[in-house]
Chain A
Amino acid sequence: EAGVAQSPRYKIIEKRQSVAFWCNPISGHATLYWYQQILGQGPKLLIQFQNNGVVDDSQLPKDRFSAERLKGVDSTLKIQPAKLEDSAVYLCASSLDGAGQETQYFGPGTRLLVL
Chain B
Amino acid sequence: DAKTTQPTSMDCAEGRAANLPCNHSTISGNEYVYWYRQIHSQGPQYIIHGLKNNETNEMASLIITEDRKSSTLILPHATLRDTAVYYCIAEEAGTYKYIFGTGTRLKVLA
Residues of A participating in the B interface, judged by any CB pair closer than 8 Å: 4, 40-45, 48, 56, 91, 93, 98-109, 111
**A45 → B minimal CB distance (Å):** 6
Q: Are B95 and A108 within 8 A (Cβ)?
A: no
Q: Are A42 and B42 within 8 A (Cβ)?
A: no
**B88 → A minimal CB distance (Å):** 10
**B73 → A minimal CB distance (Å):** 16
Q: Are B95 and A107 within 8 A (Cβ)?
A: no
**A22 → B minimal CB distance (Å):** 15
Known pairs A42-B103, A103-B46, A105-B46 / 5 extra A-B pairs, C-beta < 8 Å? A40-B102, A41-B102, A42-B101, A44-B100, A102-B96
Q: Are A43 and B100 within 8 A (Cβ)?
A: yes
Contacts of B49 in A (CB 8 A): 101, 103
Q: Are A42 and B102 within 8 A (Cβ)?
A: yes
Given contacts A4-B43, A106-B43, A106-B44, contact A42 B87 (CB under 8 A): yes
Count A-B contacts at CB 8 Å.
47
Across the two chains, which residue of chain B brings its CB closest to A92?
B43
Top 3 nearest A-B pairs (CB, nearest first) are A42-B100, A106-B43, A106-B44
Q: Are A100 and B46 within 8 A (Cβ)?
A: no
**B85 → A minimal CB distance (Å):** 8
Name the prevailing secondary structure of the B interface residues: loop
Q: Are A100 and B102 within 8 A (Cβ)?
A: no
**B32 → A minimal CB distance (Å):** 5
A to B CB contacts below 8 Å, 24 in the list? A4-B43, A41-B100, A42-B101, A42-B102, A42-B103, A43-B100, A45-B98, A48-B97, A56-B97, A91-B44, A93-B43, A98-B96, A100-B96, A101-B32, A102-B96, A103-B49, A106-B36, A106-B44, A106-B45, A108-B41, A108-B42, A108-B43, A109-B42, A109-B43
Across the two chains, which residue of chain B brings its CB closest to A100?
B96
Bound-complex Cα distance A45 to B98 (A): 8
Across the two chains, which residue of chain A brings its CB closest to B6?
A42
Given contacts A104-B46, A106-B44, contact A45 B32 (CB under 8 A): no
